[in-house]
Structure 1
């Protein structure tokens, strides 16, 4: 979800396959009635039903009402993975400048493997990792590869980072602890839940990638690799 917390003056921009659902569950208990929580349509909070942030009580009634609200209520013009530029436009420059904005990123070889596994599971389709990369390269609109890049979650149209901090998924607990300290949030990383885990087979780790696959991912994700200075993973197979 995208979270705009007026109570604690922060904006969390959810990226894909970076434990975003776990982080939203971690943050949810802190949120107040004025905070904007933009999640999936069925989970969005309505002003008249006092629905808790993460859960819908009256789905059959709420869903059609929410479709109308998306046309008239600014927060409903966003979605759970809204681009940073869209969130900035909706909240306004004053809030954007004064609130602490953060997202999460994951080194791309591991992230795309995770996205590949998750999309196969969710869409009930089987596809090889090479064919998954083929579809990304073709940009053919296949739901398997839609929104495969996280760059829009924290950069502008020119590719410059516009949030205050992009947390490193590889050190997420330490990074979140730093955010909690900076914002004085009464949260401990020990309470971070684990959502959407256990989908990817252990045999589908980064070490399973061939040199050619590593190079393909490097080419697709060269922008974020340059932003964060990631190095290609070692591969035991000869090139």
Structure 2
């Protein structure tokens, strides 16, 4: 996540949506007082700052799990972190900042995102040690899904960010955003690569049953954004 006081923008990082590349592009323009969270694994050119601190762990609590999570993060002073859901960030930032800054995230077609997420699980070294033979059917049966709505919605499933950029139009929409912020945009830096060797589009990979499983799993996101297969 990035909270730029200099440019009055908050970037909420979602999964499998070029989030790290966008963080790197925005962090380059952040000032010394802005919040820039760490990236894992660390990237040498990325300089995290101002993300640690105390906060009231009872805010935005809707369950015992929320409370336990908040208490652990408070004790670690992890006030704002890389993939923090927007509703928790809202509770930990001053209200005048959250209410007045432009809050932005990116969402991706669920079938496209699911295929990318599967390749990450199958090819990442940290996962190959645990399940080296993971298949697409096994991934779907285990419901290892990449849901982003919890990152930009409240506990009731309603979006609480101002703008949700589309991954399939990302370069165009980022260029518009950067222009509005008065920043130059020369494209995104390459942050992560090498996890996917099969570059076929999702329409050439999923059979009808797999397509239906994904549609059912991402029904909320599909309703929110009108995604189509």
1:195 corresponding residue in structure 2 = 191
- Kindly indicate which of the two structures has a greater share of residues assigned to helix: 1
Which residue is 1:77 aligned to?
A: 79
Distance 1:178 1:104 in 2: 14
The within-5 A match list for 1:1-239 is 2-40=1-39, 54-55=46-47, 71=75, 73=77, 76-122=78-124, 123-124=127-128, 125-136=132-143, 145=144, 148-185=146-183, 187-188=184-185, 190-202=186-198, 204-206=200-202, 207-232=204-229
Is the CA contact 2:38–2:47 (under 8 Å) kept in the aligned structure 1? no
Query: Given that residues 9 and 99 in structure 1 are in contact (C-alpha distance below 8 angstroms), is that contact kept between their aligned partners in structure 2?
Result: yes
Q: Distance in 2 between matches of 1:153 and 1:5?
A: 19
Q: How many residues align?
A: 200
SS at match of 2:192: coil
TM-score by length of 1: 0.76
The Cα of 1:202 is off from its aligned counterpart by 3.0
Secondary structure class of the residue paired with 1:103: strand
- Cα deviations by residue, 1:115-165 (Å, 9 ceiling, x for unpaired): 1111222222331111111111xxxxxxxx3x7211112111111111010
Retained in 2: the 8 A contact 1:71–1:77?
A: no
For residue 63 of structure 2, what is the aligned residue in structure 1? Answer: none
Task: State the Cα distance separating 1:55 from its structure 2 match.
Answer: 4.7
After superposition, what is the alpha-carbon deviation per residue over 1:176-195, rounded to whole angstroms, capped at 9, x for unaligned? Answer: 0111122222x21x341122
Distance 1:162 1:18, change over 3 A: same
Q: SS in structure 2 opposite 1:30?
A: coil
Structure 2: gaps (5+ residues) = 49-71
TM-score, length-normalised on structure 2?
A: 0.79
